[in-house]
Amino acid sequence: MLQSIRSPADARAVPAEQVPVLAAEIRRLLIDKVGRRGGHLGPNLGVVELTLALHRVFESPRDRILWDTGHQAYVHKLLTGRVGEFDRLRLRGGLSGYPSRTESEHDIIENSHASTVLSWAYGLATGYRLQGVSDRAVVAVIGDGALTGGMAWEALNNISAADDIPVIIVVNDNGRSYSPTVGGLAGHLAAIRTARGFERFLDGDTTAIPSSTPSLDDPPETFFESLGLTYIGPIDGHDVAAVEDALRSAVRAGGPVLVHCLTRKGNGYAPAENDTADRFHAIAAVDPDLGCPLPAPAPSWTSAFGEELARLGDRHPEVVAITAAMLRPTGLAAFAQRFPERVLDVGIAEQHAVTSAAGLALSGMRPVVAVYSTFLNRAFDQVLMDVALHRAPVTFVLDRAGITGDDGPSHNGMWDIALLNLVPGLRIAAPRDRHTLRAALEESLAEQHGPCVVRFPKGAVADMIPAIAQHENVDILRHGPRPEVLIVSVGPMAGLCLGLAERLEELGMSATVTDPRWIKPVRHGVMSLARRHRLVISVEDGIEGGGFGSLLVRRLHDEGLTVPVITFGIPTRFLDHGSRNEVLAECGLTVENITRAITRHTAGLEPVGAP
């Protein structure tokens, strides 16, 4: 049946009694395709019936269905004519793992940072009202986890006061973001579920579910009703007919309406349902039947950080870890298991995480804020004005810095160096292996006079890339026989830079490779090495504009050095998804491409290897 779905109109044409069959087919396809390729499995298993109901009630793309975060839009993609493309999900040139406007007219926004969809909906609906457009609905689907974010609350404040703007908010309440949702809102939603007979729903017990939707007069009054929103729910989000009825009621109500749907993350797949940690939120390839990883993953930067932080926690009782609803993805599980009272989960609220870390530092604690690099972008003002201005000794650990690859443009952590280079008094470390990661963490916790950043990429971590010498606190990874080309490597680019030096040697150019480990401010040892060489190369996995290379060029200029510098980094543009190596190659960050650029640069000069 799924193969015949070419558009949402086909889904609307399916007889009601056949919808459960279609839902089962979708679930089987997700388990097979996502399980074998990797991706966001649990969230999509949880919204199969909910997505079917949305597309059977509303007429996309005329009606605007907006997805918060977007990683739960796989079912939406299947129902909008992309079944045949699922074999290339998250592969180079294939389907994005998030809504993508270049893929389909049904993907209205490319939204993959959480808690933003209600602002999108408010703006769209307001724009339509001002233009006199009244024949299209604006539907925003947001999870209970994303409702912990500040932007969502700000938008709710506006939407609830706009009686003439018919925004329909669908809350996909599964009690989780990556892990169980925290905070007062989570408690309030739990109270609603309990008062209305759904107390055991999220655990899979459907025996107590009411046979019909309770009346809106049933206690307790919800927070949403107190704001002035019409509230409908809770609804069994796995009952397509019930969700359809609720959505049609929302359309008839007019004005802003909130439809509260209860779903179970990973629903219908035993390995996900039994995984109490994150319900298979995002997975690598697994055996679809058993849910076991294929193959066993190599040690990652994330796990190495987690182990090192737990070790440091034993020695430093003042260390407190902060997560924005991503305890396991950022490697804090080991620390939390050992020191549960020293972990703060603030929900999807990066701004709050950063300023509360400043407060912790002011009290005498040593906060470590662990966050994906791309998400620190959301809290730049807090880093600048609340942490750096106060010289608060906060350590920011940026996972998935540089190119992440298959998650696409929204998740590449390529902006951090350029953004943070603007922050006075902030230091940035870029370790190249586990050994230098440990050293960077220890040094950052010893810093008393301001914030530090430790950044590392997604993927496997090298155990050790040894330095053969040190020069003024800068690691030398390779000595060239003559002081001709100096290659300055940033963090995980060390392997590429060593390969580059070998290739240049083959072409008759003597190359020395150095790794400063701390890249902001530029270390004096890098400057003194640059004085001795005829050409300086910098290689980084951040954007070129304003990155480490730019900082190095400016520092050389300020000191009156005229040595030529060629900087290599990521171009300042949004990059399509693909493997990390594929995207790096697209950016020219390969031995071959950099070698060609260097030889072109030196072609008009005196041969570098000449006496």
| Whether residues 114 and 191 fall in one domain | yes
Distance (Å) of CA 43 to CA 113, 331, 436 = 15, 20, 36
One domain, residues 532 and 581: yes
Residue 345 annotated as part of some ligand binding site: no
372 is in an annotated binding site: no
Average pLDDT score over residue span 460-482: 94
Identify whether 462 is part of a domain. no
> Residue 293: beta bridge partners?
286
269 is in an annotated binding site: yes
341-356 tens-digit pLDDT: 999 999 889 999 999 9
Which residue in 90, 265, 279, 580 is the catalytic one?
265
Distance CA 545, CA 384 (A): 20
Is 19 inside a domain boundary? no
The CATH number of the domain holding residue 536 is 3.40.50.920
**Residue 500 shares a structural domain with residue 535:** yes
The tally of CA atoms less than 13 A away on the side-chain side of residue 241 is 8
Residue 194 above 80 pLDDT? no
For the sheet with 565-570, list strands across it: 469-471, 474-478, 511-515, 485-489, 535-543, 565-570
SS (H, E, C) 170-213: EEEECCECCCECCCHHHHHHHHHHHHCCCCCHHHCCCCCCCCCC
State yes or no: is 17 an active-site residue: no
Residue 113 marked as a ligand binder: yes
Q: What is the mean pLDDT of residues 222-241?
A: 89
- My answer on whether 485 and 519 are in the same domain is yes
288 has a pLDDT exceeding 60: no
Q: For 546-567, what is each residue's pLDDT tens digit? A: 999 999 999 999 999 889 999 9
284 pLDDT above the threshold of 50: yes
316 among the known binding-site residues? no
**Span 575-591, average pLDDT:** 91
Q: Give the pTM.
A: 0.85
Are residues 422 and 514 both part of a single domain? no
d(CA 498, CA 279): 41
Chain segment 32-69, per-residue pLDDT in tens: 888 777 778 888 898 999 999 999 999 999 999 999 98
Over 90: is that where the pLDDT of 375 sits? yes
User: Is residue 204 in some structural domain?
Assistant: yes
Q: Is the pLDDT of residue 217 over 60?
A: no
**What pLDDT score was predicted for residue 608?**
45
Res 328 pLDDT > 70: yes
- Which DSSP letter does residue 537 get? E
Residues 415, 491 within the same domain: no
391: pLDDT strictly greater than 90: yes
Q: Is 55 annotated as a binding residue?
A: no
368 lies in the same domain as 402: yes
Measured between alpha carbons, how far is 552 from 459 in angstroms, rounded to an integer? 27
Averaged pLDDT, 155-174: 90
Q: Answer whether 336's CB lies under 8 Å from 321's CB.
A: yes
Residues 219-233: what's their mean pLDDT?
83
Number of residues written out for the chain:
611
Using CA atoms, how far apart are residues 258 and 260, in angstroms rounded to an integer? 6
Does 358 count as an annotated binding residue?
A: no
Omega of the bond leading into 61 within 30 degrees of 0 (cis): yes
Tell me, what's the pLDDT at 226? 85
Query: What is the torsion angle, in degrees rounded to the nearest 10, for the CA atoms of residue 394, residue 396, residue 397 and residue 400?
Result: 180
Task: Give residue 377's identity as a one-letter amino acid code.
Answer: N
CATH code of the domain in which 311 resides: 3.40.50.970
- Identify which of 554, 569, 568, 563 has the alpha carbon closest to the alpha carbon of residue 608: 563
Q: Quickly state the pLDDT bin for 169 (edges 50, 70, 90).
A: very high
In a domain, 530, yes or no: yes
Looking at residue 448, its amino acid is Q
- Model confidence at 204, pLDDT cuts 50, 70, 90, reads low
Q: Say yes or no: 481 and 428 in one domain.
A: no
Answer yes or no: do 121 and 227 share one domain. Answer: yes
Residue 384 neighbours by CB distance under 10 Å: 17
**Which of 67-71, 249-253, 494-498 is most confident?**
494-498
pLDDT at 285 (0 to 100): 57
Question: 71 a known binding residue?
Answer: yes
109: its two tokens: 């926004």
Domain ends where: 455, 483, 518?
A: 455
Range in 146-160, 258-272, 276-290 the model is least confident about? 276-290
Assess whether 486 and 537 both reside in one domain: yes
Token digits of residue 532: 């001795």
Q: Which residue spans within 503-577 are E strands per DSSP? A: 511-515, 518-520, 535-543, 565-570
pLDDT exceeding 70 applies to what percent of the chain? Answer: 89
The answer to which of 205-214, 309-318, 567-576 has the lowest mean pLDDT is 205-214
Is 144 assigned to a binding site?
yes
- Range of weakest confidence among 176-180, 317-321, 350-354: 176-180
Q: Which residue has the tokens 């002081």?
A: 483
Higher pLDDT residue, 222 or 272? Answer: 222
Question: Does 384 reside within a domain?
Answer: yes
Same domain, 249 and 119: yes
The helix (run of H) or strand (run of E) holding residue 477 is strand 474-478
Whether residue 378 lies in the annotated active site: yes
Q: Which amino acid is at 568?
A: F
Options 103, 350, 544, 582, the catalytic residue: 350
* Cβ-contact 546, 514 below 8 angstroms: no
- Is residue 59 a part of any domain in this protein? yes
Let me know if 350 is a catalytic residue. yes
What is the domain count for the chain? 3
Domain that residue 121 falls in: 49-71+97-268
pLDDT tens digits for 66-99?
Answer: 999 888 888 999 999 888 888 888 888 888 888 8
Taking the C-alpha atoms of 515, 517, 521 and 524 in order, what is their torsion angle to the nearest 10 degrees?
A: -50
Instruction: Considering the candidates 64, 378, 432, 523, report the single residue annotated as catalytic.
Output: 378
Of 63-67, 104-108, 122-126, 281-285, the range with the lowest mean pLDDT is 281-285
Nearest of 184, 211, 180, 186 to residue 197 by alpha carbon = 211
- The Cα 554–Cα 448 span in angstroms is 27
Q: What is the pLDDT of residue 216?
A: 44
pLDDT, position 607 = 44
- For residues 307 and 442, membership in a common domain is answered with yes
